[in-house]
A and B are shown apart, each in its own frame.
Chain A
Amino acid sequence: DTEVTQTPKHLVMGMTNKKSLKCEQHMGHRAMYWYKQKAKKPPELMFVYSYEKLSINESVPSRFSPECPNSSLLNLHLHALQPEDSALYLCATSRGLRAYEQFFGPGTRLTVL
């Protein structure tokens, strides 16, 4: 299995809602990433998990809370988001020694009303 899957594909939420984005991979990769991508912009790194431990948090606001329950799953918990958080949220994975070759999921299109 060489796929990274993300659910849901689309999500609309209000500023007071709590929701979660999910990412799953079965490639045995031990590094997992969350990126945020605004329209017509490049992906921006948010979080990196290495062997299920958070290794990098790129100064992301606390209304975004990542979680890695096991080596196949990565979640992003959302709470009290702002309209400017509307974006495509991408999950990616990589093998340890080739971290520059990342395998991306199709993303979750998030709209915050």
Chain B
Amino acid sequence: GESVGLHLPTLSVQEGDNSIINCAYSNSASDYFIWYKQESGKGPQFIIDIRSNMDKRQGQRVTVLLNKTVKHLSLQIAATQPGDSAVYFCAERGAQIGGSQGNLIFGKGTKLSVKP
């Protein structure tokens, strides 16, 4: 079945360093891959998405890389700040049924801790 998973449950980085959060997925048919950030006590917040026909997309301080050969997705955060501390979930858009948009399937999450 469809599944999205994470390689590491926790990641600790020094403030100012770059962070890389990894994710493996299994459904080759997914057309969008997405990263969400969930801070403590809050709901997930959309960060960035990448379409399956792309291999790289950049946002503000974040870059998402997609390697379809090995079904691997990563999120790079440049100059990590204390405000980046959160749980990061990768997600994929699941199977689309009829004319409806597919729904999100979340991976397990990586907790990022930023040391001052």
Contacts and interface: CB of A to CB of B under 8 A. Distances in A.
Interface of A: 4, 31, 33, 40-45, 48, 50, 55-56, 90, 92, 96-97, 99-107
B9 to A, nearest CB: 8
Contacts of A33: 103
A58 to B, nearest CB: 9
Residue with the highest number of chain B CB atoms closer than 10 Å, among A43, A44, A50, A103: A43
10 contacts: A48-B103, A90-B43, A90-B44, A100-B32, A100-B104, A102-B44, A102-B46, A102-B104, A104-B44, A106-B42
Contacts of A92: 43
A103 B43 CA distance: 8
B104 A106 contact: no
Nearest to A48: B103
A45 B104 contact: yes
Contact of B44 (A43, A55, A96): A43
Closest 6 CB pairs of A and B: A104-B43, A42-B106, A99-B101, A100-B93, A100-B32, A101-B46
Interface in B20-74: 32, 34, 41-46, 49
Contacts of A90: 43-44
A99 B102 contact: yes
Contact of A41 (B44, B91, B108): B108
Given A41-B108, A41-B109, A100-B101, 16 more contacts: A33-B103, A42-B89, A42-B91, A42-B106, A42-B107, A55-B100, A56-B103, A90-B44, A99-B101, A99-B102, A99-B104, A100-B102, A100-B104, A101-B34, A106-B41, A106-B42
B24 to A, nearest CB: 14
A90 B38 CA distance: 12
Nearest to A43: B106
A97 B42 CA distance: 25
Nearest to B92: A100
